[in-house]
Chains A and B, each alone.
Chain A
Amino acid sequence: MMHRFANPTRFMRVANAILPWCAALTVVFLCIGLYLGLFRSPADYQQGETVRIMYIHVPSAYMAMFVYGAMAVASAMALIWKHPLADMIARASAPIGAGFTLITLVTGSLWGQPMWGTWWVWDARLTSVLILFFLYIGYIALVNAFDDPARGAKPAAILALVGAVNLPIIKFSVDWWNTLHQPASIVTMEGPKIAASMLWPLLCMVIAFNLFYLTVGILRLRGEIAGARIRNLQLGLTHG
């Protein structure tokens, strides 16, 4: 089953077929989510209108971790099974995840200034997300540091796996240590602590961001595969 899609050509045939649907649905969910979040959802009883930053901040924070998780799984598959597509999936994902992480940090800072009274504090949650951003940047730098991308694949995959330790730290930082950042509101033992009128727009945005990752991921993967083909052809020309 796994090896059926290990073939880049077969994989891309499927990916290309779903790409237009992903792109269209991204736009649809983004429009619905933004409209509900910015215009139709109520203001918070404490935060007022500032709560609307959450509709960008929370989905991008979730995606920042989700994309890294996907990269770590792909890297493990590349190391263990030498799956030809796995390295490419990890490489294609990195800049998208870095983008989500940056959005998380910036929107969080914009929310922190009016609510907490500070742009930034070195608490466990904020610091561990900043480390996630540096892991993404480090991964991208490492992948691009080799003339032959095939040689950079293994160290980069190891870096991605080592960095995965940070994911549970980010998620549970607010429970393990005293932090300024509030504890989880959605995925908690007692159920969501967000009013339903605010939860629906948030879920729409989460779906939209997931679809965005899928769309841009396929586009970038197409680039990675084309790049690998070109390198192979050039090698064939010089050695042939």
Chain B
Amino acid sequence: MVSKRFIAKRLLLLVPVLFGVATVVFAILHLAPGDPARVILGQRAPTQQVVQLRRELGLNDPIWVQYGRFLADTAQLDFGQSYQIAKGSPVWDVLADRLPVTIELAIYGQITAILLGIPLGVLSAVKQDSLTDHVTRIGALTGISVPIFWSGPLVLLVFATFLGWLPTSGRIGSTFFLEDHWVLFGTQLPLTGMVSIDTFILDTGAFVQSILYGEGLGAFASLTEYYASFISAVQHLLLPVLTLGIYSMALLSRMMRSSMLEVIRQDYIRTARAKGQGERITILKHGLRNALIPVITVIGIQFGTLLGGAVLTETVFGIGGIGQLLVAAIGATDYPLVQGTVLVFALLFTLVNLGVDVTYSYLDPRIQQ
């Protein structure tokens, strides 16, 4: 069991970190060169307008007043309005639109990494110093040495440009329209913003409707037609997810291998073997369960790498998530948008690590002391 005290303590420790994060983010706007009012209005705007906008934005107030206001606004998820990219609209709205795109990419990437990385790491450890082990280790080492902005273009060249099997960029084919809601029994329901889930819901809706009121069971014959938008979404996701996932997979399999190596030298593994238990059960039941504990922490830490990787992946594959948004916002000196995006990234990372810590303390109660 995870004690409430542990969680309370862990949450309390978050406060100074979040406070510091907010301070760094506040500094972005105030240390960056240039007058925000000038940035918004453009270089040729009359001085009078600039002066007025400065007053409206509260830029003439003492810095600590601005800081206090920033903290209060941020606590309410009010990041102000975008200067350039989505001129005038609240930063939070822009972020809310784009965030699911990045989360979808990160989640699938993480799943790929876990599904491939953990078995490979275990295999490598169990067959230590065999050919399999050497190949896996060198493969993993190569994997973490290959940057996403090289592997991404390479897989695109092979599978999209030369073979033409998969699309080069975007989230869905141009013939499809990305809906933001769906209709169930006449009521409008919001969608998730994650293209694979949304298209699946919509396509399934159309498919079920057809079975009930249209073609009947004959609809199964044209299953791929009903799921065309979902299939297109998956095709668009495949390469970015693999590119992102394989990098994290390499990291994970290395950690899994060394953790597993440590565990299988423990006495209780020898005991399990000595009492005649099968090798498979010994490794999976006694070994893997214990070896996974430290690896879970690593999953949290490398989630940060994954988020950084998402920025690069989105840029390579032309996916409009918050990573691409951040790059565009920096380029356009759209500071409120930069602040909002950075804050959201830091928040995501911190929350994932909090979740990891809680999971860890559940798996290994000793950590709570």
Do A and B originate from a single complex? no
Interface residue ranges, A against B (CB under 8 Å): none
